[in-house]
Structure 1
Amino acid sequence: MDIRKELEQRILVIDGAMGTMIQRYKLQEEDYRGDRFKDWHSDVKGNNDLLNITRPDIITAIHKQYLEAGADIIETNTFSSTVIAMADYDMQSLAYELNVAAVKCAKDAIAQYKEQHPEDTKPKFVAGAIGPLNKTLSLSPDVNNPGFRAVTFDEVVAAYYEQISGLVDGGADILLIETIFDTLNAKGAIFAAKKYFRETGKKELPIMISGTITDASGRTLSGQTLEAFYTSVAHARPLSVGLNCALGAKEMRPHIAELSQIASCFVSAYPNAGLPNAMGEYDERPEDTGHYLEDWAQEGFVNIVGGCCGTTPDHIKHIADHVKTIKPRPLPIVETELN
């Protein structure tokens, strides 16, 4: 199952928002706790990654809805499954287990889908989702002490190393370092991945990298331009580089157009369902998102498309329908340097 061969032949579709779908279940504290954590000493409602263990039925069902909608790549529910992020719930010890359990949910969903749809012979891929962390290496959390850092590079690498080991042991097909607003954190994840495969001797998984342009300035939160961001991560020789989150498709378009010109690898894009309204909710209709991404595909900007915050299986179905007959962006011919 070689994802590179698939990407050369067609545009692949990645799934949509996990949090948006979990909200539909209107889960309460006891749903998150389950029997195993019914006596946990702090509130755990909102710890969506914990549902991989306590409500795998819900996570698997959401994955399956995205597969039914036409997704080729399913992201694991592991955006915060690191010791650093899980510290908010004092659940650092669960980090490895959460990642293994999340991959199982995704693989179970694919198995169920394949059993019910034997006519769909296209391969489906599990992308181990690696989030940006809730602490940054480039920025101080204290405006009065700009030199202070809440975390060290070694701590970030160790946290990502454990997450990656869980994703790989679970059986993920790809590592997806996503929603990057601080490139130094992403470098920690890249370093952890390379270190893990070097030390274990396991076959290296393809790495997808997806950054976040936070506003109209065209920069990441840590101040990099898109070209600087790409240059900072290109050494990882990623399968793809792209953008997700923060912006809707309308606002993201010029940045994807730019990235498609500079990237020597495949390009991914999964925007939000427009910009949030006054209530923080997303109103963009699925057919509108589909038309925006169809435009990008026709312009030859993209190889992988999907949705982020606010997107649903309906959004993904429209995207998949709109791009299924369009040829993918061809990889540029890169001249190799003479030694």
Structure 2
Amino acid sequence: MGMKKRNLVEEIVVSAGGCAMIDGGFATQLEIEGADISDALWSAVCLISNPELIKKVHLQYLEAGADIIISSSYQATIPGFLARGFCLEESERLLQKSVRLALEARDSFWKSLKRAPRRGYNRGLVAASFGSYGAYLADGSEYSGRYGPEVGLEKLKDFHRRRLQVLVGAGPDILAFETIPNKIEAQALVELLDEEEIKIPSLICFSSVDGEKLPSGELFANCLDIINKSEKVAAVGINCTPPQFIERLICLFKEHTDKLIAVYPNSGETWDGRSKTWLPTACFGDEKFTDLARRWRECGASLVGGCCRTTPSTILALSKVIKGSYLS
């Protein structure tokens, strides 16, 4: 019997020496570059107003050593675009543009590397981002998991279904479902991947506000039990969670899954979903972040990166430490 063929996520981990780099805070870097994203669409507003800036930020993360870049579609949804006055066809084109811009950035960067090869870089993968239902609501509920009794399994599947079809049609390498706050949405995603017969490997990442449970208060073990049964999900993990919780969560995940583990926490600051501001809590600078990241790899993380309030400088520092390579 032959060996099972690796999926693209497994391949990038192997080619990166056992731990691949995910990019960092996309909206954060857009703001640093001057974008105004104080909008219900958040970073996705730049798909309308400044698509070239999106490509520029992708290139900055690739230059910093990212092996995986995540599209600007986290808060991009068809209902969200329709509410802005776009027709259905225009809304779907904007979703596809998020993947296309990332693919163009990746291909352009790869061509530059082939002309001048540099140690430590791989031909990166493009992940199509899917924010949770709570991200679409833009009310902070991706950090509470409280959607209300009217939001059941079928409603969540219907919410994600067409966006999934459109983004898969744009040709990403992998799918990234991010900041999932409760068990029912994880179940909806797993069932939807099967129903739609998706062939692209997926990454499902949760958030946590206490380092022990999902924001909904449910146990990770119960969510992982659902995900473990799916061959469509190549990796599970945690994003947009304070860095000090990550090592504990990796150890917890290792007890309940054999899938690859991805971690890309925020800087440690706290987002207030109602006031839409970052609260002045503990912030982990690049040096402290990379010190922690060494432990994350040692504990079993196979994909490491950053989320909100991290930047290309964070990813560059992580790349040098995690991949053990000199990025020239």
TM range (shorter): 0.7 to 0.9
Instruction: Using the TM superposition, give the Cα deviation of residue 4 of structure 1 relative to its aligned residue in structure 2, in angstroms.
Output: 1.8
**Contact kept in structure 2, 1:74 and 1:127, CA below 8 Å:** yes
Report how far residue 89 of structure 1 moved.
4.0
- Structure 2 distance, partners of 1:306, 1:69, is 11
Q: Which residue of 2 aligns with 1:179?
A: 179
SS in 1 for 2:133: coil
Residues 75 and 126, structure 1, Cα contact 8 Å, conserved in 2: yes
Q: 1:3 aligns with which of 2, 5, 9?
A: 9
Match of 2:267 among 264, 269, 273: 273
Instruction: Tell me how far apart the structure 1 counterparts of residues 147 and 87 of structure 2 sit (CA, whole Å).
Output: 23
**Which amino acid in 1 is paired with 2:310?**
T
User: Is structure 2 residue 258 aligned with structure 1 residue 259?
Assistant: no
Contact 1:80 1:86 in 2 (8 A): no
Structure 1 residues 253-300: Cα deviation after superposition (integer angstroms, max 9, x where no partner):
211122123221111111111234995267321121111101221x24
Provide Cα deviations, 1:15-48, integer angstroms capped at 9, x if missing partner: 01111112123335xxx8xxxxxxxxxx957542
1:189 shift after superposition: 2.6
The alpha-carbon deviation at position 10 of structure 1 amounts to: 2.1
1:168 Cα deviation after fit: 1.5
**One-letter code of the match for 2:248?**
P
Question: CA offsets per residue over residues 82-108 of structure 1, 9 Å max, x none?
Answer: 234556645573542222100111011
Structure 2 match to 1:19: 27
C-alpha RMSD of the superposition: 2.8
Within 5 A, what are the aligned runs for 1:178-327?
178-197=178-197, 204-216=199-211, 218-237=212-231, 238-247=233-242, 249-276=243-270, 280=279, 283-297=283-297, 299-325=298-324
Output the CA distance in 1 between the equivalents of 2:110 and 2:32. 25
Structure 2 Cα separation of the partners of residues 95 and 302 of structure 1:
36
- Report the residue type matching 1:7 in the other structure: V
Alpha carbons of structure 1 residues 78 and 224: separation in structure 2 relative to 1, 3 Å = same
- 1:31-50 → structure 2 map (5 Å cutoff): 47-50=42-45
Find the counterpart in structure 1 of residue 165 from structure 2. 165
Aligned amino acid, residue 116 of structure 1 = S
Q: Which residue identity is paired with 1:139?
A: R
Alpha carbons of 1:207 and 1:2: their partners in 2 closer, same or farther (altered >3 Å)? closer
Q: Which deviates the most, 92-101 or 58-67? A: 92-101
Secondary structure of the 2:295 match is helix
DSSP 3-state at the match of 1:246:
coil
Structure 1 residue runs of 5 or longer lacking an equivalent are: 33-42, 142-147, 198-202, 327-339
Cα drift, residue 139 of structure 1: 3.4
Tell me: CA distance 1:306–1:279, structure 2 relative to 1, closer, same or farther (3 Å): closer
Which entry has the higher C-alpha Rg, 1 or 2?
1
Q: Which amino acid aligns with 2:31?
A: Q
Deviation at 1:132, TM superposition (A): 0.7
**Count of matched residue positions in the alignment of Structure 1 and Structure 2:** 298
Report the counterpart of residue 139 of structure 1 in structure 2.
146
Aligned residue among 72, 92, 98 for 2:94: 98
Greater length-normalized contact order (CA 8 Å, ≥ 6 residues apart): 2
Residue number among 61, 83, 93 corresponding to 2:78 in the alignment: 83
- Quote the Cα distance in structure 2 between the aligned partners of 1:84 and 1:252: 33
| 2:128 is aligned with 1:128 | yes
Taking the aligned partners of 2:106 and 2:249, their CA distance within structure 1 comes to 32
Distance 1:116 1:265, change over 3 A: same
Amino-acid identity (%): 21
- Residue 240 of structure 2 aligns to a residue in which SS? strand
State the distance in 1 between where 2:94 and 2:227 align. Answer: 27
Question: 2 CA distance for matches of 1:324 and 1:271?
Answer: 18
Q: Secondary structure at the match of 2:265?
A: strand
